[in-house]
């Protein structure tokens, strides 16, 4: 399952990143995404339910589904 | 570089966006900063100086916000180059102050581990401890210090206590930096993944999260990010903002107008009737006045923009409109700068700084002049009033419809050009949205006013620096070699007749061609220029401009003129601010060229169609 497939208020654990997109993986890691981190989906944008805002550790992060789909998660 | 400068200790402030670097910078330096940027790049950083309690001078660099050390964007590259000493004309800093929002320590601690690898002495400032406490986060600082191997200073939004504490620490630290005894941290030679693992291990034993109740920030977000309520709130806010820009600014603009007319009157009545009087009165005062009159609007606009930015709401607005902007390859961050351009392209272009990605910022700067700025309204109002009949089509007035389609035309072309630029000039740079939504906080009053003051100065300095010489040149062109038979005999008249054949296919006559030259100072000056040209050249000296235009322009000419102003490339202040923000003449010249081409083509098409329709 990938992060973009979660719905509002669903909690999940990050299990990894798509290995084909290394640069994106670095960016995601730098801003704070990491294996084992817990994410909660909080909001979706008003148009096409995009982008999405999530709670990651203590921070709130906004990203598009286009990037979220490269983050693998496991539902909690 | 002088020797004295070499002896100054130089520190650099590093940290994620929104962690409070600028606030710390202002608290230490008092906000007195020199802004530096690079040719052709819209990235800037601030340099300031302050004295420690022991009187040692320190030079402080406030770098663009970065997360890691990979340099994904131009901002990150500049920040990292500055730290590594790879910037031309800048030596590397002697020490790093890494700043972090304490409430985000779980998410960002690995960035500190990354920064240890720069091989420079480093300290960590944990900012916003109050917000962290509010969110139920407890940090064991002594333990964190020993696990990280670097000193930590905690503070609350850099208010006085934290500042004194920090200065005392810097006193000792810089002394060590000075004699080279400051410890340099061990390099972390691990991959980013391992650094994250290590930082999670550290936070697991040093940071406690008490309770999991939604924070105040999350509660506010439930309203302002709600698909319906959020849009209503944003629309309401924007409507209020624009009402304020137009209504609150009006009395001040009238006041400025009055002051400049008074100045002109004083000069006119006290100086002998020579070229000098004309230069000061018609050239300098009138020319500079025509630009300074926009200062109230710009200040009010920035009063809002800075408030939105400092409170943390700006990123939420970007979140709400992101999908809309994504359609043309930009992200939500471009929305507010483009919206600001409806007041004036200058604040819009200046506000583009909040866009993280350099390519997106550049694209936004290039299309900002297509938004209908307030200087176009006097032109629209005059021409529409003179040529478009005041009739209704259904419920709608035709005049209003024409004005609306001109505004819409600008937006449509801005979107088309953004789409094209992103795919060509910007090498198809992918626009992504990956931003942190900062916790809501009250702006620090001092930072707020420093920010506002900076914006006002940029406008006065940069626009003014171009406008003063430009006004003199324009005055010279419109006064010499002879003004005895009106403007036709002047250089402006001659240039006008020279470019008139080029403009003839799009329906422009000699008077319009001439009026475009003084109109370079500011778009609305064209109205005054036309009045001057006609009252000097035609018999209808006392007839109002409206009638004169109705009698001497055809409808196709008027329509063509309106369409020309949708693109109106001839605003020098806009080009000057583009030069400032991109630090190169390349982009303003390119903008002028593409706007001119569009203006010419679209006005020409309008004219030819109108003529063939027999209008």
User: pLDDT tens digits for B274-317?
Assistant: 888 888 888 888 878 877 887 888 888 889 988 998 898 989 99
The residue in chain A having the minimum alpha-carbon distance to the alpha carbon of residue B198 is: A34
What's the Cα-to-Cα distance from B527 to each of B382, B524, B592, B598, rounded to whole Å?
Answer: 8, 6, 21, 22
> What is the distance, to the nearest Å, from the Cα of residue A30 to the centroid of all Cα atoms in its chain?
13
B352 in Cβ contact with B334 (< 8 Å): yes
In chain A, the number of structural domains is: 1
Q: Write down which residue in B156, B188, B213 finishes a domain.
A: B213
User: Please, which residues have CB within 8 angstroms of residue B134's CB and are 6 or more apart in sequence?
Assistant: B215, B216
The reported pLDDT for the residue numbered A69 is 94
Shared-domain flag, residues B192 and B90? yes
- Under the banding of pLDDT at 50, 70 and 90, the label for residue B485 is low
Q: Which of the residue ranges B110-124, B272-286, B309-323 would you say has the lowest mean pLDDT?
A: B272-286
Taking the Cβ of residue A70 and every Cβ of chain B, the question of whether any pair is shorter than 8 Å is answered with: no
Is B322 within 8 Å of A23 when comparing Cβ atoms? no
Residues B336 and B247 in one domain: yes
Cα angle at B99 between B97 and B102, to 5 degrees? 145
Same structural domain, B348 and B261: yes
Q: B585-612 burial, b for 16+ CB within 10 Å, e for fewer?
A: eebbebbbebbeebbbebbbebbeebbe
Supply the pLDDT for residue B3. Answer: 39
Q: Cα–Cα distance between B558 and B228 in angstroms, integer?
A: 42
What CATH number has the domain bearing residue A58?
2.30.30.90
Question: Which residues numbered 296-335 in B keep a CB inside 8 Å of some CB on A?
Answer: 315, 318-320, 322-324, 326, 332
- Same domain for B589 and B499: yes
Give me the residue from B72, B196, B437 closest to A60, CB to CB. B437
Residue B72 inside a domain? The answer is yes
Q: What is the number of domains present in chain B?
A: 3
Cross-chain Cβ contact A45/B209 below 8 Å:
no
The pLDDT value recorded for residue B462 is 63
Q: Average pLDDT in the B110-120 region?
A: 91
Check A64 against B433: CB less than 8 A apart. yes
Chain B contact for A15, CB < 8 A? no
Which chain B residues are within 8 Å of A47, Cβ to Cβ? 323-324
Q: Identify which of A30, A45, A62 has the shortest CB distance to residue B68.
A: A30
Yes or no, beta carbons of A48 and B193 under 8 Å apart: no
Determine whether the interchain pair A63/B226 forms a contact, defined as Cβ–Cβ distance below 8 Å: no
Name the residue with higher pLDDT: B98 or B244.
Answer: B98
Q: Is the pLDDT of residue B132 over 70?
A: yes
| CA B411, B412, B417, B419 torsion-angle sign | positive
Phi then psi dihedrals of residue B65, to 5 deg: -65, 130
* B109 neighbors B136 (Cβ within 8 angstroms): no
For residues B260-280, give the mean pLDDT. Answer: 88
- If one compares B155 and B303, the residue with the highest pLDDT of the two is B303
Which residues of chain A fall short of a pLDDT of 70? none
- Within 415-434 of B, beta carbons closer than 8 Å to A belong to 432-434
* B444 within a domain of the structure (yes/no): no
Position B160 scores a pLDDT of 64
> Is pLDDT larger for residue B337 or for residue B528?
B337
* Averaged pLDDT for residues B590-609: 95
Rounded distance, CA B492 to CA B476, Å? 9
pLDDT tens by residue, B434-450: 889 988 888 888 889 98
Closest CA in chain A for residue B209: A58
Domain housing A58:
3-75
> With an 8 Å Cβ cutoff, is B137 touching chain A?
yes
As a whole number of angstroms, the distance between CA B16 and CA B64 comes to 8
Q: Is residue B194 part of a domain?
A: yes
Q: Please check whether residue B440 lies inside any domain of the structure.
A: no
For residue A23, give both structure tokens.
């640069």
Q: Look at residue B486 in the predicted model and tell me its pLDDT.
A: 67
Q: Is residue B356 part of a domain?
A: yes
Domain shared by B602 and B545, yes or no: yes
CB pairs < 8 Å spanning A and B = 127
Contacts of A34 in chain B (CB under 8 A): 110, 193, 196-197, 200
- Give the Cβ contact number of residue B254 at 10 Å: 12
- Mean pLDDT along residues B584-611: 94
The reply to whether B100 and B233 lie within a common domain is: no
Residue from B149, B209, B147, B173 nearest B53 by CA: B173
Q: Are B137 and B110 in contact (CB under 8 A)?
A: no
Tell how far CA B532 is from the center of its chain.
34
Nearest CB to B231: which of A42, A46, A66? A46
Q: How many Cβ atoms are within 10 Å of B264's Cβ, its own excluded?
A: 18
Per-residue tokens: B576: 């000057």
Would you call B67 helix, strand, or coil by DSSP? coil
- Chain A partners within 8 Å of B222 (Cβ): 43
What percent of chain A clears pLDDT 90, i.e. is strictly above it?
80
Q: What is the pLDDT at residue B39? A: 56
Question: Which residues on chain B are in Cβ contact (under 8 Å) with A11?
Answer: none
pLDDT of residue B542: 42
> Can you list the alpha helix ranges (DSSP code H) found in B216-271?
216-224, 229-247, 249-270
The closest alpha carbon to B43, from B429, B450, B356, belongs to B356
The yes-or-no verdict on residue B540 having pLDDT over 60 is no
Chain A residue whose CA is closest to B229: A46
What's the whole-number mean pLDDT along residues B456-461?
A: 80
Instruction: Tell me the per-residue pLDDT of B336-381, one tens digit each, with 9 for 90 and over.
Output: 889 888 888 888 898 887 787 788 889 999 999 999 888 888 788 8
R_g of chain A, CA atoms, integer Å: 11
d(CA B581, CA B591) in angstroms, rounded, equals 13
Q: How close, in Å, is residue A1 to chain B by CA atoms?
A: 20
Inter-chain CB proximity B226 and A43 less than 8 Å: yes
CA–CA distance, B450 with B29 (Å, rounded to integer): 12
Q: Which residues contact A48 (CB under 8 A, 6 or more apart)?
A: B323
Nearest Cα residue to A32 out of B509, B107, B452: B107
Q: Which domain holds residue B24?
A: 3-213
Q: Are residues B125 and B237 in the same domain?
A: no
B445 located within any domain: no
Provide, rounded to the nearest whole percent, the portion of chain B with pLDDT above 70: 93
pLDDT of B17 strictly over 90: no
In a domain, B438, yes or no: no
Q: What local confidence, expressed as pLDDT, does residue B24 receive?
A: 87
| Nearest-neighbour CA in chain B from A72: distance (Å) | 15
Q: Are A44 and A52 in contact (CB under 8 A)?
A: yes
Q: Are residues B322 and B297 in the same domain?
A: yes
pLDDT of residue B294: 79
Pick from B75, B101, B433, B441 the residue to mutate for testing the A interface (most A CBs within 10 Å): B433
Cα B30 to Cα B74: distance, rounded to the nearest angstrom: 28
pLDDT at B182 over 50: yes
Task: Say what the pLDDT of residue B1 is.
Answer: 35
- Regarding whether B134 and B18 lie in a shared domain, the answer is yes
Residue of B196, B194, B321, B126 whose CA lies nearest to A45:
B321
Closest Cα in chain B to A17: B193
- A56 close to A37: Cβ distance less than 8 angstroms: yes
pLDDT band at B60 (very low <50, low <70, confident <90, very high): very high
The ipTM, to two decimals, is: 0.96
Give the pair of three-digit tokens for residue B186: 């061990």
Q: Which of B117-126, B459-468, B568-577 has the highest mean pLDDT?
A: B117-126
Instruction: Tell me the two tokens of residue A37.
Output: 């981190």
- State mean pLDDT over B72-92: 83
Tell which phi-psi region holds residue B100, choosing left (phi > 0), alpha (psi between -120 and 50) or beta: beta
Q: Mean per-residue pLDDT for B232-236?
A: 92
Q: Does the CB of B211 have a partner CB in chain A at under 8 Å?
A: no
Average pLDDT over residues B39-61: 82
Q: Write down the pLDDT at residue B522.
A: 72
**Residues B476, B332 share a domain:** no
Q: Is residue B449 part of a domain?
A: no
**Measured between CB atoms, does A36 come within 8 Å of chain B?**
yes
How much is the pLDDT for B539?
Answer: 39
Residues B161 and B20 in one domain: yes
Q: Which residues of B touch A57 (CB under 8 A)?
A: 104, 106-107
SS3 B425: coil
Residues B198 and B234 in one domain: no
Residue with tokens 């009698």: B551
């Amino acid at each position: 399952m990938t992060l973009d497939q979660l719905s509002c208020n669903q909690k999940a654990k990050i299990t990894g990143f798509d290995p084909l997109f290394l640069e994106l993986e670095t960016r995601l890691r730098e801003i704070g995404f990491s294996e084992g981190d817990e994410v909660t989906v909080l909001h979706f944008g008003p148009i096409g339910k995009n982008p999405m805002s999530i709670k990651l550790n203590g921070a709130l992060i906004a990203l598009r589904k286009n990037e979220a789909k490269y983050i693998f998660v496991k539902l909690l | 570089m002088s020797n004295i400068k070499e002896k100054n200790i130089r520190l650099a402030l590093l940290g994620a966006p929104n962690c409070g670097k600028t606030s710390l910078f202002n608290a230490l330096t008092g906000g007195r900063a020199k802004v530096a940027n690079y040719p052709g790049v819209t990235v800037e950083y601030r340099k300031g100086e302050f004295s420690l309690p022991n009187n040692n001078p320190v030079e402080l660099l406030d770098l663009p916000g970065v997360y890691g050390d990979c340099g994904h964007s131009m901002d990150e590259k500049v920040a990292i180059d500055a730290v590594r000493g790879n910037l031309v004309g800048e030596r590397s800093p002697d020490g790093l102050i890494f700043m972090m929002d304490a409430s985000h320590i779980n998410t960002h601690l690995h960035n500190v581990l990354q920064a240890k690898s720069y091989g420079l002495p480093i300290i960590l400032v944990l900012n916003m401890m109050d917000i962290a406490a509010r969110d139920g986060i407890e940090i064991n600082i002594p333990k964190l210090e020993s696990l990280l191997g670097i000193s930590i200073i905690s503070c609350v939004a850099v208010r006085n206590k934290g500042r004194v504490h920090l200065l005392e620490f810097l006193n000792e630290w810089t002394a060590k930096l000075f004699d080279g005894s400051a410890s340099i941290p061990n390099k972390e030679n691990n991959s980013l993944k391992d650094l994250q693992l290590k930082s999670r291990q550290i936070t697991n034993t040093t940071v406690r999260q008490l309770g999991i109740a939604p924070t105040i920030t999350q509660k506010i977000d439930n309203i302002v990010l709600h698909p319906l309520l959020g849009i209503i709130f944003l629309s309401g806010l924007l409507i209020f903002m624009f009402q304020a820009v137009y209504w609150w600014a009006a009395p001040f603009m009238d006041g400025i107008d009055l002051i400049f007319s008074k100045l002109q009157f004083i000069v006119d009545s006290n100086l002998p009737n020579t070229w000098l009087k004309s230069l000061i009165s018609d050239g300098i005062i009138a020319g500079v006045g025509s630009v300074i009159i926009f200062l109230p609007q710009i200040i009010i606009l920035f009063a809002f923009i800075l408030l939105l930015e400092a409170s943390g709401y700006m990123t939420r607005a970007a979140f709400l409109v992101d999908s809309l902007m994504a359609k043309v390859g930009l992200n939500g961050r471009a929305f507010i700068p483009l919206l600001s351009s409806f007041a004036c392209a200058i604040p819009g272009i200046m506000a583009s700084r909040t866009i993280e990605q350099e390519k997106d910022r550049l694209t936004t700067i290039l299309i900002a002049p297509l938004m209908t700025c307030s200087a176009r309204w006097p032109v629209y109002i005059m021409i529409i009033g003179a040529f478009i009949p005041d009739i209704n089509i259904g419920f709608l007035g035709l005049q209003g419809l024409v004005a609306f389609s001109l505004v819409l035309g600008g937006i449509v072309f801005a979107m088309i050009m953004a789409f094209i630029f992103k795919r060509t000039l910007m090498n198809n740079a992918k626009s992504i949205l990956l931003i942190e939504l900062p916790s809501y906080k009250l702006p620090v009053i001092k930072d707020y006013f420093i920010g506002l003051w900076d914006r006002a100065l940029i406008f006065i300095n940069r626009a003014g620096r171009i406008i003063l010489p430009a006004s003199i040149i324009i005055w010279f062109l419109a006064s010499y070699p002879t003004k005895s038979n009106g403007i036709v005999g002047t250089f402006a008249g001659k240039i006008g007749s020279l470019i008139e054949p080029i403009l003839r296919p799009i329906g422009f006559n000699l008077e319009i061609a001439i009026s475009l030259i003084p109109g370079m100072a500011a778009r609305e000056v064209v109205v005054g220029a036309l009045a001057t040209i006609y009252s000097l050249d035609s018999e209808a000296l006392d007839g109002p401009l409206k009638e004169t235009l109705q009698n001497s322009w055809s409808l196709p000419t008027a329509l063509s003129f309106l369409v020309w102003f949708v693109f109106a490339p001839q605003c020098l202040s806009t080009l000057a601010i583009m030069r400032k923000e991109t630090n190169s003449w390349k982009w303003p010249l390119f903008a002028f060229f593409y706007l001119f081409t569009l203006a010419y083509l679209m006005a020409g098409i309008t004219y030819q169609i109108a003529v063939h329709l027999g209008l």
